[in-house]
Amino acid sequence: MKDLEPILLPGIEAKRPLIIAGPCSAETEEQVMRTAKELASQGIKIFRAGIWKPRTKPGGFEGVGVEGLTWLKRVKEETEMYISTEVATERHVFEALKHGIDMLWIGARTPFAVQEIADALKGVDIPVLIKNPVNPDLELWIGAVERIYNAGIHKLGVIHRGFSTYDKQIYRNQPQWHIPIELRRRMPNLPIYCDPSHMGGKRELIAPLSQQAMDLGYDGLIVETHCEPDCAWSDKNQQITPDVLNYILHMLVIRDTTQTTENLAELRSQIDILDNQLLELLSKRMRISREIGQYKKEHSMPVLQATRYDEILSKRISQAMELGM
């Protein structure tokens, strides 16, 4: 994929980070316009809003539908911002293009619809971003990118929004940074954008996650921004006001040095990520060990079982040596 084209739209500077911002959902015309105008006044060039909202469970707000596209069109006309939204079906693509949407993204819940969307996009010159799948499956993510690329779309990028896990801890979706790092190694020309809103699930995590994404050389951020986040109809806890977004962006430290193996900042950042993962794994191991201890206590078993202890030591030492440790 060496012939990938820059996602940059006319009039947008080629510098990090590219910012895409707007509410999780387009709720009312007034809410969309108010948020867009506040963002435009701060120099944000690309407005995002969910028109169709696939929800995990039925009963939640699932978007206003096609009517919301007319609101986005008005945003474009009155603020001169570019407009973007998520598509999940062929019909979504046709409606979005008919209403002059400038950029599309494909959500994490639609891996089986990717080919249908790719077919609908044939012959269209529009930037497309592809979110990582719900499960931590790099090949599935790459496959989605390849399907859209094979449809003739060469203005491509991906959105890292984290991966679902049963064992919820700090984040709504675990970052698993090593997966996009491996994606960049395999597809170095593919722009990567971070979605700290869905990754963290809490507005207070947006700033640190955004900084970590910048430290890892991500190309931009897609941040859920609402004029009144506490009144949002969907995902209110992970949305911030345009003023807060402006503050976060001004606090970001952008390191534009060439990323090489001699760049200690990136290597140290990878060490920090791996250390966090190790600590999480050790924490899980300790919880299981406590359960074993409780079982032994309830069944009057000795704490130390020499055969098992010897087996663990022998196997782990052998594995470590094979791994060059």
Contact 153, 126 (CB under 8 A): yes
What sign for the dihedral angle of Cα 202, 205, 210, 212?
Answer: negative
> Mean pLDDT in each 10-residue stretch from start to end of the chain (325 residues)?
78 91 97 98 97 72 92 97 95 96 85 84 94 93 94 95 82 94 94 97 96 95 98 96 97 75 74 89 91 90 85 89 88
**Given this model, what pLDDT does residue 32 score?**
98
- pLDDT, tens digit (0-9, with 9 covering 90-100), for 160-205: 999 988 776 789 999 999 999 999 999 999 999 999 999 999 999 9
**Given this model, what pLDDT does residue 59 score?**
65
Nearest CA to 85 among 77, 74, 97? 97
**Given this model, what pLDDT does residue 264 score?**
74
- pLDDT, tens digit (0-9, with 9 covering 90-100), for 14-53: 889 999 999 999 999 999 999 999 999 999 999 999 999 7
Alpha carbon distances (Å) from 209 to 222, 238, 283: 12, 12, 22
Contact 121, 93 (CB under 8 A): yes
**Given this model, what pLDDT does residue 323 score?**
86
Question: Which residues, 6 or more positions from 225, have their beta carbon under 8 angstroms from its beta carbon?
Answer: 21, 22, 23, 35, 39, 239, 240, 241, 242, 245
Contact 27, 38 (CB under 8 A): no
